[in-house]
Amino acid sequence: MKRQWFKLPLHQLLHALHTGEASLPEIVASFYERIATRDDKIGAWQYLIDQDDYLAEYESRSDFYKASPLMGLPFAVKDVIDTAGIPTTMGSAIHQDRIPDMDASCVTAMKAAGGILMGKTVTTEFAYFQAGKTNNPHDAERTPGGSSSGSAAAVADFMVPVAFGTQTAASVIRPASYCGCIGYVGSKNEFSLRNIQPLAQSLDSLGILSNDVLDTLLLRNILLHKPLSLSTPGAQAACVFGVFSGQALGEVQGKMLETLQACQKDLSEQGHTLVDFPLQDAVVELTALHAQIMAYEVARNLVYEQQQHETLSAHMQSLMSTGLAFPYMEYIAALQRADTLKQAVLQWFADSGADFILAPAAAGVAPYKTEGTGAPFMSRAWQLLGLPVVSLPLGYFQKLPMGLQLIGKPHQDDVLLLQARQLQQRFLNSSSVLTV
């Protein structure tokens, strides 16, 4: 029986290559067969490299790839990330013929580490609300979330082991929750955004989608040019988690709250301390400030696109109108107020001894596509604060995944991811996965 290599995470595929258990062409063929079987239903890919071209690239530099950290394994990037010689359309007909002549820094770093680009994944229009063609891999009638729709769906459905997305509001964390993969957004300014199409400069972040936190750590180290390791480091023995249900922001589905409560109970039984996160009013205010800042910056970044107003979706037209009407001094005041509230949150971390905040990654399971791409309110505040966040699919309801997010302290991303890895091992790789 043919081995289903596509189901293995990146670090296990590397192990198979190192030990000679598999060859690179075998692994690549497994992924392309998966895509051929599944993508007609899901629509995750905007542009897919031909399999023969992929293997020709590998064979043309096989000595390099065999000695490289990633050994020629595939990765994908969201279609707002520039790729030399391959279209970057940003989900808009305005840019359907745009072909960059230079890779984004994240793409260059992956290629230098021996990764081979498999293709570009679908994004919503300009990484905002207008949905693309992608369906949720668990139910084609439901949204995969936005805006990193294709990246989350492709990874969750095992069409590619890892992919890059971007987040300005909730564009990595929400799709990861809806599709059932791991989504990570780094601390503000953690990663280069060079040659990634901007939406709102105060908020934009690069994100990583994977099926294993160890793969996320591996890609993070590649981007930061840190030493690479396939070992599994440990996390803190006992931590303090501040718990935020999100109900102060909007309606949260009962099954999501049950998942949160079940996770709290399990963490407590494992010796961790759970405390209420008290700054709910601050999160509500930060959520509103985020929307104002985002609208202001989008309207002043997408000036070229405004000149083709009739080509834009109603969602984008409305956002630009709101942003153009928002006064400069109010924008500056919003940034200053956000900084004040950030200091309050950081002070809470210090005073309480908390290590992380635990919260729902979305309001519930993926809604039907007729209802849109889902509400971003669970992520807006943390994105404005520039905190690192990871979403883990720790719950399921009627076979639909639900993610919980861990929010960490600024630039303590490694600490956050090591704790996430411990949670993944506890829940995702055991019978204790939370089915509610």
What is the set of active-site residues? 78, 147, 171
Place of tokens 């000149």: 307
- The helix (run of H) or strand (run of E) holding residue 400 is strand 400-407
204 SS3 class: coil
What's the length of the chain? Answer: 436
Nearest Cα neighbor of 385 from 91, 167, 194 is 167
- Residue pair 164/208 in contact (Cβ under 8 Å)? The answer is yes
C-alpha span between 394 and 378 (Å, rounded): 16
Question: DSSP of 132-191, one letter per residue?
Answer: -S--BTTBTTB---SSSHHHHHHHHTTSSS-EEEEESSSTTHHHHHHHTSEEEEPSTTSS
Between β-strands 400-407 and 389-397, what pairing exists: parallel, antiparallel or unpaired? antiparallel
- Residue pair 125/91 in contact (Cβ under 8 Å)? The answer is yes
CB atoms inside a 10 Å sphere around CB 311: 13
Question: DSSP of 305-367, one letter per residue?
Answer: HHTTGGGS-HHHHHHHHHHHHS-HHHHHHHHHHHHHHHHHHHHHHHHHT--EEEEESSSSSPP
Contacts of 426 by beta carbon, 8 Å cutoff, 6+ apart: 266, 270, 432
Contacts of 153 by beta carbon, 8 Å cutoff, 6+ apart: 42, 43, 44, 121, 134, 135, 136, 137, 144, 175, 179
Contacts of 299 by beta carbon, 8 Å cutoff, 6+ apart: 306, 319, 320, 321, 322, 323, 324, 326
64 SS3 class: helix
- Residue pair 78/164 in contact (Cβ under 8 Å)? The answer is yes
CA 285 to chain centre: 24
The token pair that represents 25 in the structure block: 């062409």
